[in-house]
């Protein structure tokens, strides 16, 4: 049996994630006019629910593009095209690097870089902020899935504000699963992707924009990317519209996904994510495996994806190949971490059952390659962590 | 009865269009890993079929964004960010203006403008091409839906090539419904949107890129928009991947939509679109209405959308409101044409039955407001044009 052929895979990737049938069905609704009242009501409802999930009173817009599209919207609108805008870009993984690359295209990126998987040293960020002049924004990835680490949003937010710079926080894989009180932290532009903790299919992203951010963005006038022009999004939203054609089926799905979040309650959802990630960590540790990220007092293990060092005695291809044959898709390491780590995501609407399933399968595969002796310890540790 | 509530509207907009249930169902397939073999096979299949529809051997890529995203990909990659690239932008409607606006953001737009709905004067384009130096590209909208006109692709393509400029042709609303032999015409970058003649929901677009275009694009290095970086698309396609997360459900739908086109046959599909548009034109003329565009020997009425002057005795709100109450959505005029025209699109997988339905409803509404005396003439004219 090839599970993919029967459409029965458990996708435990740090996006895309397994999507609830309730959300999948919403995709198939017939087309409506995206310039009509029905769409306006749909879009406004999505935005209201997104504000709840973002914990913000700032403006929120939905982009018909992936998280990367929203990253470019944030950086491109703040730095402008050819306006010489400067960004301090904090990097300790693949997605931090992406923000740096985008900033380099539009203006000037001043990177503060750490080895992938090492924690962010606040002193290093502080000293760069003190040295550099005319910094428009600090960019950081909140939940760096490439290394399984949660970066210090509150602390970096404070530093940015102290130096009168905007704070762009990539929350693509945290919002909806990890506590991100956007207004309390003082995030000027926060970003989320649809296919992560919101539990939706990929294709949409959303951004929140603070008053402080608008002031900077307005100065760039029309010298901002066109498809991601946030001022155009703001203007169109007055009529409940998007400036360009929205990916309509995904908006139907987004409403359904956000209603599910509202029904569960954001606080419960965050607790559930924490508990699922704790279960995975407890399980892999009980099997003698090592977690990949190195923490300091300001960083934490991610509660939406667990990055584990690849143990001796098994290759990435063996581990993930055998898992896939059991109908479970987990992630490997990206770029320089290829073969060195594997990653189990616990995002979105998955359940304790799914977590136990993936741990059980992991044990079976590790036992097959004699990395562990027999199965059971992992599930037992996960069970306890889940309070079952 | 409110048709929208029972999901039973006939959407005759120039995008989005009514989507076949066969395509809608494909949207609901469960999530797969977009970095796996199954997605690679899906994407490659889509690209092969798109090459058939584009009639090209050039590279073709799918973007997870609307047609506007693809317009920006074309212009942004060719002009570059802050590289001073110059584009001659031909404008005779709303979407031509959009290409001009995008060119202005990245480099220098030299517009050749005509009143919306007037045909493109080749001599005017020629003289600007002769005057201007270092022109990287000429941009034009092939099928300008805002005015219901087909612009002269072959002639402008020849002029661009003669002056060693690239030819960017927005075929968002023509490819798949109107004959666009990309390679024969010599289009360097052609663009299509998913929610037009392909008969799909909105959310995807595709671009073809010629060898000549690659040469110019490569010179811009990394100074191109990030999410739309065509070089990144080319590199990822070697592994059957997209550089950033694809809007997966829409790729499932795209494959289905393209298979439907293959089954019908491109030639038959183009004939069907011609016949449907001819039927609409014949019908509205038989009712004493006037077509909006003014043609010259190089331009044609669009075969995917018919723009009609708003007759005396009825307002836009009355006409489209009453049509909507009958369960049919047609388009009004945009911006400066608001209230002055209405537009009936005949794009995608709609049938003669749909065309007859919309004409019948149009007659009923016009008769109600005494714009015409009684019904029947329109359907009779449409019937004949359809050869029924």
**pLDDT tens digit sequence for B248-281:** 999 999 999 999 999 999 999 999 999 999 999 9
Calculate the average pLDDT of chain B.
Answer: 97
Is the pLDDT at A244 greater than 50? The verdict is: yes
pLDDT of residue A8: 87
Please indicate if any CB of chain B lies within 8 Å of the CB of A261: no
Is the pLDDT at A3 greater than 50? The verdict is: no
Name every chain B residue with its beta carbon within 8 A of the beta carbon of A222: 101, 104-105
pLDDT tens digits for B235-250? 999 999 999 999 999 9
Q: Which residue among A65, A105, A195 places its CB closest to the CB of B223?
A: A105
Q: Which residue among A9, A66, A106 places its CB closest to the CB of B245?
A: A66
Mutation to test the A interface, candidates B2, B202, B257, most A Cβ within 10 Å:
B202
- Exposure b/e, A197-215, CB count within 10 A at least 16 = b: bbbbbbbbbbbbbbebbbe
pLDDT of residue A346: 98
Name every chain A residue with its beta carbon within 8 A of the beta carbon of B17: 31
Q: Do residue B248 and residue A15 have CB atoms under 8 angstroms apart?
A: no
Is the pLDDT at A2 greater than 70? The verdict is: no
Lowest-pLDDT range of B7-11, B44-48, B122-126, B312-316: B7-11
Is the pLDDT at B3 greater than 70? The verdict is: no
pLDDT confidence bin for B1, thresholds 50/70/90: very low
CA distance A71 to chain B (A): 9
A residues 283-302 closer than 8 Å to B (CB)? none
Domain A21-262 sits in CATH 3.40.640.10 = yes
Q: Which residue among A15, A68, A246 places its CB closest to the CB of B202?
A: A246
* Residue predicted with more confidence, B42 or B82: B42
Q: Do residue A244 and residue B81 have CB atoms under 8 angstroms apart?
A: no
| C-alpha span between A268 and A256 (Å, rounded) | 18
Q: Do residue A27 and residue B31 have CB atoms under 8 angstroms apart?
A: no
Q: Do residue A102 and residue B226 have CB atoms under 8 angstroms apart?
A: yes
Q: What percent of chain B has pLDDT over 90?
A: 97
Q: What is the DSSP letter of A5?
A: G
- Average pLDDT of span B173-186: 98
pLDDT tens digits for A92-150? 999 999 999 999 999 999 999 999 999 999 999 999 999 999 999 999 999 999 999 99
pLDDT of residue A387: 95
Chain B: residue nearest A20 by CA? B30
Is the pLDDT at A1 greater than 60? The verdict is: no
Q: Do residue B31 and residue A15 have CB atoms under 8 angstroms apart?
A: no
Closest by CA position to A266, among listed A355, A192, A179: A179
pLDDT tens digits for A15-39? 999 999 999 999 999 999 999 999 9
pLDDT of residue B5: 67
Q: Could you state, in order of their start, the residue ranges of all structural domains in chain A?
A: 3-17+265-385, 21-262
Chain A: residue nearest B221 by CA? A105
Q: Topology of B3-17+265-385 in CATH?
A: 3.90.1150
- Average pLDDT of span A139-165: 98
Mutation to test the B interface, candidates A71, A201, A248, most B Cβ within 10 Å:
A201
Mutation to test the B interface, candidates A64, A241, A256, most B Cβ within 10 Å:
A64
- Average pLDDT of span B183-199: 98
Calculate the average pLDDT of chain A.
Answer: 97
pLDDT of residue B253: 98
Q: What percent of chain A has pLDDT over 90?
A: 97
pLDDT confidence bin for B8, thresholds 50/70/90: confident
pLDDT of residue B4: 54
pLDDT of residue A5: 67
Is the pLDDT at B80 greater than 70? The verdict is: yes
Q: Which residue among B202, B245, B249 places its CB closest to the CB of A245?
A: B202
- Average pLDDT of span B69-73: 98
Please indicate if any CB of chain A lies within 8 Å of the CB of B195: yes
């Amino acid at each position: 049996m090839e599970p993919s052929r029967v459409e029965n895979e458990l996708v435990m990737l740090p996006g895309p994630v397994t999507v609830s049938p309730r959300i999948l069905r919403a995709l198939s609704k017939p087309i409506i006019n995206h310039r009509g009242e029905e769409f306006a009501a749909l879009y406004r409802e999505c935005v209201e629910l997104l504000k709840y999930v973002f914990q913000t009173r700032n403006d929120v817009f939905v982009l018909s593009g992936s998280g990367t599209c929203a990253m470019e919207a944030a950086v491109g609108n703040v730095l402008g095209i050819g306006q010489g805008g400067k960004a301090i870009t904090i990097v300790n993984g693949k997605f931090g690097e992406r923000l740096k690359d985008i900033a380099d295209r539009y203006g000037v990126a001043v990177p503060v870089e750490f080895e992938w998987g090492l924690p962010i040293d606040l002193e290093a960020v502080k000293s760069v902020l003190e040295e550099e002049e005319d910094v428009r924004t600090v960019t950081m990835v909140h939940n760096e899935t490439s290394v399984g680490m949660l970066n210090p949003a509150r602390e970096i937010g404070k530093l940015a504000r102290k130096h009168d710079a905007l704070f762009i926080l990539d929350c693509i894989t945290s919002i909806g699963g990890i506590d991100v009180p956007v207004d309390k932290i003082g995030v000027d532009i926060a970003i989320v992707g649809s296919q992560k903790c919101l539990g939706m299919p990929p294709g949409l992203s959303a951004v929140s924009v603070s008053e402080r951010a608008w002031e900077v963005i307005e100065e760039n006038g029309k010298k901002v990317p066109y498809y991601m022009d946030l001022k155009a999004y703001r203007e169109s939203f007055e009529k409940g519209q998007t400036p360009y054609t929205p990916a309509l089926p995904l908006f139907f799905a987004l409403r359904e996904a956000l209603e599910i979040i509202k029904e569960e309650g954001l606080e419960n959802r965050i607790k559930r994510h924490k508990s699922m990630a704790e279960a995975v960590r407890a399980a892999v540790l009980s099997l003698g495996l090592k977690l990949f990220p190195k923490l300091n007092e300001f960083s934490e293990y991610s509660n939406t994806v667990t990055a584990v060092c690849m143990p001796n005695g098994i290759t990435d291809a063996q581990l993930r190949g055998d898992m896939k044959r059991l109908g479970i898709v987990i992630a490997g390491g990206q770029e320089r971490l290829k073969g060195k780590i594997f990653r189990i995501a616990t995002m979105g609407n998955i359940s304790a059952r799914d977590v136990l399933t993936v741990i059980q399968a992991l044990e079976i595969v590790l036992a097959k390659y004699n990395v562990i002796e027999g199965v059971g310890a992992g599930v037992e540790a996960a069970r306890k962590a889940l309070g079952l």
